[in-house]
Amino acid sequence: MSKMRYSRRAVLKGGAAAVAASALPAPMVWAQEIKDITLRQFGTGVSNLNDVANKVKEDLGFTLEMTALDSDSVTQRAATQPDSFDIADIEYWICKKVWPTGNLQAMDTSKIANYDKIVGIFRDGKLTPESTIAQGTAPHSVGFVDGPGGTSFATEETGWMTLIPTIYNADTLGIRPDLIGRPIETWAELLNPEFKGKASILDISSIGIMDMAMVCEAMGEIQYGDKGNMTREEIDKTMAIFTEAKKNGQFRAFWKTFDESVNLMASGEVVIQSMWSPAITAVKSRGIECVYQPLKEGYRSWGGGIGLSSSLSGMELDAAYEYINWYLSGWVGGYLMRQGYYSAVPETSKNFMTENEWGYWFEGKPATDVITSPTGDVLAQAGETRDGGSFYDRMGSVACWNAVMDENQYMVRKWNEFIAS
Amino acid sequence: MLKNRHIQGWLQASPLTLILIGFLILPIITIVVVSFWQATEFSIIPAFTLENYEFLFGSPVTYKVFFATFKYAAITWALTLLIGFTVAYYLAFHIQNQTTQIALFLLCTIPFWTSNIIRMISWIPFLGRNGIANSMLQSWGVIDQPLEWLLYSDFSVILAFVHLYTLFMVVPIFNTMTRIDHSLIEAARDNGASGFQTLIHVILPLTKPGIMIGTIFVLTLVMGDFITVRFMSGSQKANVGRLISNDISLLQYPSAAATAVILLITVLIVIGILLRFVDIRKEL
Amino acid sequence: MEKKSKSFYVLTAFFGLFILFLYGPTLTIGILSFQGPGGGLTFPMQGTSLNWFRELFQEQAVGDIWGSFRRSFALGLMVMVTTVVVSVMGGFAFRKRFAGSGILFYLIIASLVIPSILISLGVGLIFNQFGLKIHWATSGFGSQLTWTLPFGLLIMFAVFNRFDKSFEEAARDQGASPWQTVRYVVLPIIAPSLIGVGLFGFTLSYDEFARTLLTAGSYNTLPLEIFGMTTNVTTPVIYALGTMTTLFSLLIIGAFLLTVWVLGKRRARFGSDAGKGV
């Protein structure tokens, strides 16, 4: 029923929008009808927050429907069900997989007001002009195409973006310092027999393989040509090391979902594991000690962005651009940064954070007052500093990005074998 | 008249037939076809290949996983049969009052109507390293260290299976037992059979159809499961269902389809053998 | 056996343990759902409150619990009605022992024993290949029927196996048309079993996970939402939801049992009326 209503409305609007767009490019014209517009967004639970949808309704007037899924389902839906969404909130490595299907359309950067303020990572790949680009699927390498219909990625800024960057972070291992009782400095500790039966790794192949590579490299077992694009032999060797560890009972569990990692850590089932930043804060907010441990080999980083369905056009497309511009204008950025992520345009987000919050989350300064999450949970007391320090310290020591490699198909099958072994 | 009966029969069965064609036969055909197709990372290509089966049969993990599937099925079957039979026997022969009997029977079936996922995850706070079971055992002084194997192990997987599926054994066995003519049992006793002898020589053979139906339920549910194994083993163990669901989540549909075909054949062979021992339609 | 023997007490104890085993975990999460606002998903308890039930009625950070509940409820009703109608028709058809009914019977058994994920995968693939949109009310609905219909039909077989044909013959002898026989004789007799079929249809659908997993489309059903919540929720709100769904299931069973009871009463009364009439 709803589907029929939708299609009829879409037809009517499509026509109206075409007329409006040609006659009067100003968005004011359709302010009346914008209330009827519904954009369907899906993505991981990380940024598909109902608070964002509510704020969109308030600020922009239209309805944003959010569906939160796990990373694999997100990939699946983006690749196979183009009709089920208008806006895809996906990670850059997913984009590399999905873009060739033609389900997404390139975005005109000239319509993005804050484009020039987007951090360098997403444009030329460099955080600062001196930075070197980390291995893996770096966001800028899949961030641009040649034109509106481009199917292959461009190597430089072209004015046509695949995803508008929204959220990113540098990941490392999470530990329970109270249960470990000694400093942890290297990724190699994940396979240290000392933590037999108390370690965990995430069961999402594209991310897990990178954590594995960080570990194997840190152990000195494997020298990778490029961790983000392994050869079959490198994949075999990596999997062999981890399969051996699994057989020896190194791992307590694998986690696939955010919540599992929190519970594993909070309940003491696991003392060292791959983890995501807000999972650490979730453990901490229960009064349990938990550290997002910076390691000498550096971070494994990831980035997410918003992509538009290729079927979006007319008024819906205009609304989507409105939404993107609003997204980068600061409110969401502030909301995400106060959870420990980073915003693509930090300077606009600053306006939506207190000086204390900005100092703690972005500049790595000691908190001058209690730090709370957007939902009001206490995350840090005055005097505490963020694990890993400032934005430039953390994003500056990224060793690799989450990646999809040429041998992805092979890796995926090997991964399945590893999980099943 | 005869012809008319057949036409009428098919007419009345037509909605059923159409649904089964659309949502059972066609999907199976599709799976079989797709299992011979090629795949890229994100899409499937309709080009014939045997590669999926070659990879499947070429990997030692496949055999291990099929073995694990049979292991789970066999152990779960034995436990559910033992528990299910005992419970059904108690209800059918030891509870004389019919109202009490129905009430207790309903008490057994109520959890069946609630969400499986919820029932599964309910075990986790119970079995964990710092869970209720371990704290209790430790406070009683039975153990010094928490038992690691309570959670995320074969033990917890099978425990959850038994918890979820024993009812599928209880219900058909109870159903058959209530239909046993009590005069047979009295006759056995009059002839000097002990309670145990009556159980083995009279009740057990007469309950066989119920046991078979229960067996079919339990075996197919356990062999096709993927979510219980994932939750209860902390992703450390695998059965065939998980192999399939992993492939699906990694968008490897042809590979998933090939595994699915082999699983389907296995299940159908098992059920085919079981059906030789029981005429379901007659025994309901 | 009338005398309470030693084996009776042993078996009673066994039965008690079995019940404890069945209900224990549900009670565990029931208890955990009453934790204080600082509570987590595991013991120890952090205070007691109704906080998480209140939370359940407020909007979550992600997802849409009540939307998925409405969808599951609607889908459950759709599946229930379809299952009852199709099973009854199928049950009547099978009584005719029509040519080919054996094959159809084995299809029903196949539908029962086929691993759920295969249906999900197959239906998903078909819709995908033909460019159709998967939706809980189309692909999800059909997939669930392959699970509820075998149950419905097995119950119908059981019913008709026990059905005394002399009622029908009597009706026919009195000059009732075939339709009248069905409407006024057969259906009232099998009505309580139909309620059973409906109950199965509804609850099997309401709790179905695997068959809906790849066939539900953009909008989650409740079990999918619960599964999704294990992704995004780290608070006892998921236990509160578990407790609520369990209570809801109990409510449904209660309602059905009540209906059966009322029907039984009414029939008993009509039965006596009929007796007086003659």
Burial of residue B140 (CB within 10 Å: 0-12, 13-18, 19+) is: exposed
Q: Cβ of B114 and C227 within 8 Å?
A: no
For residue B176, is it within any domain?
Answer: yes
Binned at pLDDT 50, 70 and 90, residue B47 comes out as confident
Contact between B125 and B132 (Cβ < 8 Å): yes
Q: What is the CATH number of the domain that holds A241?
A: 3.40.190.10
| Token pair for B71 | 């292991």
User: What's the DSSP call for residue A158?
Assistant: -
B260: nearest CA in chain C? C118
Asked whether the beta carbons of residue A268 and residue B130 sit closer than 8 angstroms, the reply is yes
Please state, in angstroms and rounded to a whole number, the distance separating the CA atoms of residues C265 and C248.
26
A191 plus A272 within the same structural domain = yes
A375, C219: Cβ pair inside 8 Å?
no
Least confident range from A107-121, B130-144, C115-129, C226-240: namely: C226-240
| A179 shares a domain with A123 | no
Distance from CA of C9 to the nearest CA of B (A): 10
Output Rg (C-alpha) for chain B, integer angstroms. Answer: 23
A181 and A288 belong to one structural domain = yes
Q: What is the pLDDT of residue C89?
A: 92
Structural domain span for residue A404: 171-298+397-420
Q: Which tokens in the block code for residue B37?
A: 């197709």
The reply to whether A290 and A306 lie within a common domain is no
Confidence of residue A164 (pLDDT cuts 50, 70, 90): very high
Number of folded domains that form chain B: 1
Element (H, E) at C240: helix C237-277
Whether residue A407 sits in one domain with residue A277: yes
* Residue B277 placed within a domain: yes
Weakest-pLDDT range from A407-421, C121-135, C234-248: C234-248
Kindly list the residues from chain C whose CB atom is less than 8 angstroms away from the CB atom of residue B282.
Answer: 161
DSSP codes of every residue in chain B: -HHHHHHHHHHHHHHHHHHHIIIIIHHHHHHHHHTTSEE-SS-EE----SHHHHHHHH-HHHHHHHHHHHHHHHHHHHHHHHHHHHHHHIIIII---HHHHHHHHHHHHGGGGS-HHHHHHTHHHHHSTTSHHHHHHHHTTS-SSPPGGGSSSHHHHHHHHHHHHHHHHHHHHHHHHHTS-HHHHHHHHHTT--HHHHIIIIIHHHHHHHHHHHHHHHHHHHHH--HHHHHHTTT----HHHHHHHHHHTT-HHHHHHHHHHHHHHHHHHHHHHHTT--HHHH-
Mean pLDDT of the A198-211 span: 90
pLDDT per residue as tens digits for the range A220-246: 999 998 898 899 999 999 999 999 999
Place of tokens 């059918």: B92
Q: Say if A24 falls within a structural domain.
A: no
**Could you tell me the pTM of the whole model?**
0.83
The token pair that represents C190 in the structure block: 């099998």
Where residue C231 falls among pLDDT bands split at 50, 70, 90? low
The reply to whether A274 and A135 lie within a common domain is: no
Residue B22 lies in a domain: no
CA C163 to chain centre: 24
Assess whether A151 and A213 both reside in one domain: no
Please provide residue A2's backbone torsions phi and psi, each rounded to the nearest 5 degrees.
-60, -30
- 58-77 of C, contacting B, C-beta below 8 A: none
Q: Which residue does chain A place closest to C41, by CA atoms? A: A263
User: Residues of A with CB below 8 A from C64's CB?
Assistant: 50, 66
Token pair 């109902």 is at which residue?
A50
pLDDT in tens, A308-356: 998 888 888 999 999 999 999 999 999 999 888 999 999 999 999 999 9
Tokens matching residue B54? 């070659």
Note down the domain range covering B267.
59-283
CB contact under 8 A, A251 and B129: no
Provide the 8-state DSSP code for C255: H
Report the percentage of chain A scoring pLDDT > 90.
47
Q: Is residue B159 part of a domain?
A: yes
- CATH code, B161: 1.10.3720.10
Cβ–Cβ of B27/C154 closer than 8 Å? no
| CA–CA dist C183, B224 (Å, integer) | 40
A66 & A46 share domain: yes
- Optimal mutation site among B246, B252, B255, B263, interface A, most CBs of chain A within 10 A: B246
**Which of these, A301, A263, A303, A256, lies nearest to A283 by C-alpha position?**
A263
**Does the residue B154 lie in any domain?**
yes
Provide the pLDDT for residue B42.
Answer: 62
Give Cα separations from B276 to B223, B272, C165 (angstroms).
Answer: 20, 7, 29
A308 and A405 together in one domain: no
A135 belongs to a structural domain: yes
A260 or A17, greater pLDDT:
A260
CB nearest to B27's CB, from C85, C123, C253: C123
| Dist CA A56 CA A64 (whole Å) | 7
Within-domain flag for A276: yes
Helices and strands, number each (H, E), in chain A = 15, 16
B42 φ/ψ sector (left φ>0, alpha ψ -120 to 50, else beta): alpha
**Amino acid letter for position C40:** G
Residues A237 and A318 grouped into a single domain = no
Closest-approach residue (CA) in chain B for A270: B129
Contact C234 A3 (CB under 8 A): no
> In the predicted model, is pLDDT for residue A5 greater than 50?
no
Structural domain tally of chain A?
A: 2
Residue tagged 């909605």 (tokens): B15
A49 touches chain C (CB under 8 A): yes
**Residue A132 counted as domain residue:** yes
Residue B185 covered by a domain: yes
CA distance B166 to C19: 11
Do both A282 and A414 map to the same domain? yes
CB contact under 8 A, C62 and A45: yes
Which among A95, A411, A412, A415 is the top mutation candidate for probing chain B, defined by the most B β-carbons within 10 Å of its own β-carbon?
Answer: A412
* CATH superfamily membership of C65-232: MetI-like (1.10.3720.10)
Express each pLDDT in A372-398 by its tens digit.
888 787 888 899 899 889 999 999 999
C41 interface with A at CB cutoff 8 Å: yes
Q: Is residue A150 located within the same domain as residue A210?
A: no
Tokens encoding B1: 């008249």
Q: Tell me the residue type at B109.
A: T
